[in-house]
Amino acid sequence: MRFLFVGDASNLHNTLAWALRQQGHEAVVVSGGSAWMDTDRDITLRRKPGKWGGVCYLARLVSLLPKFRGYDVVEIAGQVFLGLRPEKIMRVFNYLKRHNRHIVLSALGTDYNYYRACHDGHTFRYSDYMIGDMPSPYVGSDEYHAQHQENWDKPPMRALSRLITNGVDGVAACLWEYYVTYRPLVERTIHAGIPIDTDSLTMRPLATEPAKVKFFLGLQSDRMAIKGTDRLLEAAQRVQDRFPRQCELTVVENVPFKDYVRLMRDSHVILDQLYSYTPATNALLGMAQGLVAVSGAEPEYYELIEERDNRPIINVSPLIEGDIDARLEWLIAHKSQLPALATASRQFVVKHNAAPLVARKHIELVASLQGNGL
């Protein structure tokens, strides 16, 4: 089949396209490289700052549109898959739907549907926006207002969401959170997971207990509060201050994707997200290399992927005061378990997130749209 991926996030579509090519399909990725991550793509479509940057971006998009026709599948990276206003994205979506056989939504980030699920009081116990029935620290922060989060609930974004939700043929969710958001809305919604190129990520051997526990934290300067990275950083710094001889902390910020993957290799533990039920790309990349992930890994996620035996992720909860500190201190006190946890982490990613497996789920989704068995 012929796949066109429009947009990307944290290299998800690029990795998926690579796996599809390995299985004999044609796959083209159009993206801006996930901003400073500079991830690989086949066609570059990147918006530069300013009004003139917007004009050039739109002109390039219009010139490319004739090439975005005749595909079996178009997968869009979220509802806001282009750097345009909602009304312009709607026109492009209609064009893609009209000139291609199927269109699938990769549910991989915030949109109106997820935003509403976070606020409905019953879908999640906690989220980026709410901790129980109280706003999260992210809400009201400078970051929240700088990202214009209030726009998710305004009429233009509602209209865009309604068009795409009703117009896509299927949804491939990369996280449990997006799966439970879309399952009631789109009949053919699957949990595909995040594809990881496990073949290219060799495990760093950890044969014995390390003298020091090396923590690693990668920051996205414009997304610290929404991911809870600010609270993870503060907790890690407190623990380092209390146990300077038993641990050390490495922090990198806004590093290109390939450098980021390389830099984490010398650590033992990767700190990822606080408000997630599911390990995301950073955690999985680390786990594939034998790092232990401190992230989200709630029972709902393990139940969805039917994993009952190997649960190596150190789950941190925003609902429990002091939970992050306690989990990090546990890792220091039990560093003898790091070699076993490292091996279990690698095995987990190979079993659930190896790129060929995730690609197969996307192929099966498309086959169900076509009414074909595989």
For the stretch 65-104, pLDDT in tens is: 999 999 999 999 999 999 999 999 999 999 999 999 999 9
The verdict on residue 158 lying in a domain is yes
Considering the domain architecture, whether residues 24 and 149 belong to the same structural domain is answered as: yes
Considering the domain architecture, whether residues 309 and 170 belong to the same structural domain is answered as: no
- DSSP bridge partners of 73: 3, 102
Q: Does residue 234 carry a pLDDT above 60?
A: yes
- In this prediction, residue 38 has a pLDDT band, given cuts at 50, 70 and 90, of confident
- In this prediction, residue 256 has a pLDDT band, given cuts at 50, 70 and 90, of confident
d(CA 279, CA 312): 11
Query: What is the total count of domains within the chain?
Result: 2
The verdict on residue 87 lying in a domain is yes
d(CA 356, CA 238): 40
What confidence score (pLDDT) does residue 33 get? 85
Q: Does residue 372 carry a pLDDT above 70?
A: no
DSSP structure class, residue 249 = E
What confidence score (pLDDT) does residue 115 get? 97
Spatial CA neighbour of 129 closest among 143, 115, 113: 115
The alpha carbon torsion through 310, 314, 316, 320 (nearest 10 deg) reads: 90
What confidence score (pLDDT) does residue 374 get? 44
The verdict on residue 203 lying in a domain is no
Q: Does residue 240 carry a pLDDT above 70?
A: yes
Considering the domain architecture, whether residues 296 and 307 belong to the same structural domain is answered as: yes
Considering the domain architecture, whether residues 29 and 178 belong to the same structural domain is answered as: yes
Specify whether the backbone of 306 is left (phi greater than 0), alpha (psi in -120 to 50) or beta.
left
Considering the domain architecture, whether residues 172 and 232 belong to the same structural domain is answered as: no
267 Cβ partners below 8 Å, 6+ apart?
Answer: 214, 215, 216, 250, 286, 291
The verdict on residue 159 lying in a domain is yes
What confidence score (pLDDT) does residue 71 get? 97
Question: What is the domain range of residue 343?
Answer: 213-352
Please state the φ and ψ torsions of residue 257, each to the nearest 5 degrees: -55, -50
For the beta sheet containing 269-271, the strands, ordered from the edge strand earlier in sequence to the opposite edge, are 247-253, 213-219, 269-271, 292-295, 314-315
Q: Is the Cβ–Cβ distance between 250 and 217 less than 8 Å? A: yes
Considering the domain architecture, whether residues 154 and 7 belong to the same structural domain is answered as: yes
The secondary structure of the chain in percent helix, strand, coil, rounded to multiples of 5, reads 45, 15, 40
Considering the domain architecture, whether residues 257 and 120 belong to the same structural domain is answered as: no
- Residue keyed to tokens 């979506």: 93
> 295-328 pLDDT, tens per residue?
999 999 999 999 999 999 999 999 998 999 999 9
- Residue keyed to tokens 């990725």: 29
- Residue keyed to tokens 């690693």: 216
- In this prediction, residue 258 has a pLDDT band, given cuts at 50, 70 and 90, of confident
Helix (H) or strand (E) holding 168: none
Q: Does residue 177 carry a pLDDT above 90?
A: yes
The verdict on residue 255 lying in a domain is yes
Average pLDDT of every residue of the chain: 94
d(CA 299, CA 8): 28
What confidence score (pLDDT) does residue 371 get? 72
d(CA 244, CA 229): 21
Considering the domain architecture, whether residues 176 and 97 belong to the same structural domain is answered as: yes
The alpha carbon torsion through 258, 261, 262, 263 (nearest 10 deg) reads: 120
Q: Does residue 203 carry a pLDDT above 90?
A: no
> 353-367 pLDDT, tens per residue?
999 999 999 999 999
- In this prediction, residue 373 has a pLDDT band, given cuts at 50, 70 and 90, of very low
The verdict on residue 229 lying in a domain is yes
Write the CATH number for 340. Answer: 3.40.50.2000
- Residue keyed to tokens 């190129």: 197
Identify residue 258 by its one-letter amino acid code.
K
> 114-167 pLDDT, tens per residue?
999 999 999 999 999 999 999 999 998 999 999 889 899 999 999 999 999 999
The verdict on residue 116 lying in a domain is yes
Considering the domain architecture, whether residues 29 and 173 belong to the same structural domain is answered as: yes
Considering the domain architecture, whether residues 187 and 45 belong to the same structural domain is answered as: yes
Helix (H) or strand (E) holding 227: helix 224-227
Considering the domain architecture, whether residues 175 and 246 belong to the same structural domain is answered as: no
Considering the domain architecture, whether residues 186 and 223 belong to the same structural domain is answered as: no
Q: Which of 119-128, 142-151, 213-222, 247-256 has the highest mean pLDDT?
A: 119-128
In a 10 Å sphere around its CB, with 0-12 CB exposed, 13-18 middle and 19+ buried, how is residue 184 labelled?
exposed
**Residue 284 corresponds to which tokens in the numbers above?**
């999985």
DSSP structure class, residue 254 = S
The verdict on residue 208 lying in a domain is no
